[in-house]
Amino acid sequence: MTRRLFELVGADPARRFSPACWRSRMALAHKGLDAESVPWRFTEADAIAFAGSTTVPVLVDGDAVVADSWRIAEYLERAYPDRPALFGGAQAELRFLAAWTDTVLNPAILRFILTDVFALLRPSEQPYFRESRERRFGTTLEAVVADREVRLPGFRALIEPLRVTLRAQPFLAGDAPAYADHIVFGSFQWARCTSPFPLLEPDDPVALWRGRMLDLHGGLARRAPGHPC
């Protein structure tokens, strides 16, 4: 197989947990495309330098090398136009959803799972992770997550726009899942693959949607190493 996706892992190469990598993995599955998973770790800059990127996902598809989940989705839509559409006519309109996910949802989730992510890393990577994240947060990893039970109602309020949307339709893309769903699902799958902390009530419309996403493509995301939810 010539198609390869570089995906973030920690000590266990089977536990892929990056939200951006999950967007691309789901986008590939949406297009019905296989891709060998190449485990990549935070400290392995050299391994993806060929792609001109310092972050994953990186997709290698024959002669094409594409970094960044948004660009990968654009590439897949362009290269495989006869497969199910990721964007439909909504590519530009999805910029806002991606921006909300990147700037609101992901930072909020990280404050619940930070120590759990740390625990999954190789000892050799942990100092980098601790130092860079503690600099960003201005406190220890442990202090960031310490009040997560208290912050949980605030998190559940923060995702109200998802809940309102998913009361109106089964998927963020409408009647069937598409890239709108993959954008946001990546974040919940990141939490699921790293942390046992229950972000959602089981009957939350967002949790029910997450369940539908976990079932897609023969349970691709549900079978991935993670915590039941």
Residue 84 touching its own copies (CB under 8 A): no
Q: Which is nearer to its own copies, 49 or 104 (CB)?
A: 104
Residue 1 touching its own copies (CB under 8 A): no
Amino acid at 168: A
CB of 38 within 8 A of CB of 7? yes
Q: Which is nearer to its own copies, 98 or 224 (CB)?
A: 98
Residue 92 touching its own copies (CB under 8 A): yes
Residue 207 touching its own copies (CB under 8 A): no
Q: Which of 77, 54, 53 is nearest to 65 (CA)?
A: 53
Residue 81 touching its own copies (CB under 8 A): no
- Which position among 130, 165, 197, 208 is part of the footprint of its own copies (CB under 8 A)? 165
- Joined together, the tokens standing for residue 101 give 């996910």
Residue listed under structure tokens 């948004």: 70
Amino acid at 165: T
Min dist CB 181 to its own copies, Å, is 10
Residue 136 touching its own copies (CB under 8 A): no
Q: Which is nearer to its own copies, 1 or 92 (CB)?
A: 92
* CB atoms closer than 10 angstroms to residue 86: 25
- Joined together, the tokens standing for residue 157 give 């309020």
Distances (CA, A) of 89 to 67, 77, 179: 23, 11, 11
Judged by CB under 8 A, which stretch of 52-60, 93-101, 192-200, 218-226 contacts its own copies? 93-101
Residue 198 touching its own copies (CB under 8 A): no
Residue listed under structure tokens 């992770």: 129
Distances (CA, A) of 49 to 46, 55, 57: 5, 9, 12
Residue 90 touching its own copies (CB under 8 A): yes
- Joined together, the tokens standing for residue 39 give 């485990």
- Joined together, the tokens standing for residue 189 give 């799958």
Binding mask of the shown chain, residues 167 to 186, with x at each position contacting its own copies by CB under 8 A: -xx-xxxxx----x------
Min dist CB 102 to its own copies, Å, is 7
- Which position among 12, 93, 131, 147 is part of the footprint of its own copies (CB under 8 A)? 93
- Joined together, the tokens standing for residue 215 give 């079932």
Residue 95 touching its own copies (CB under 8 A): yes
- Which position among 73, 97, 110, 114 is part of the footprint of its own copies (CB under 8 A)? 97
Instruction: Report which secondary-structure segment, H or E, holds 3.
Output: strand 3-8
CB of 74 within 8 A of CB of 155? no
Residue 204 touching its own copies (CB under 8 A): no
Q: Which residues bind its own copies (CB under 8 A)?
A: 87-97, 99-100, 102-104, 160-162, 164-165, 168-169, 171-175, 180
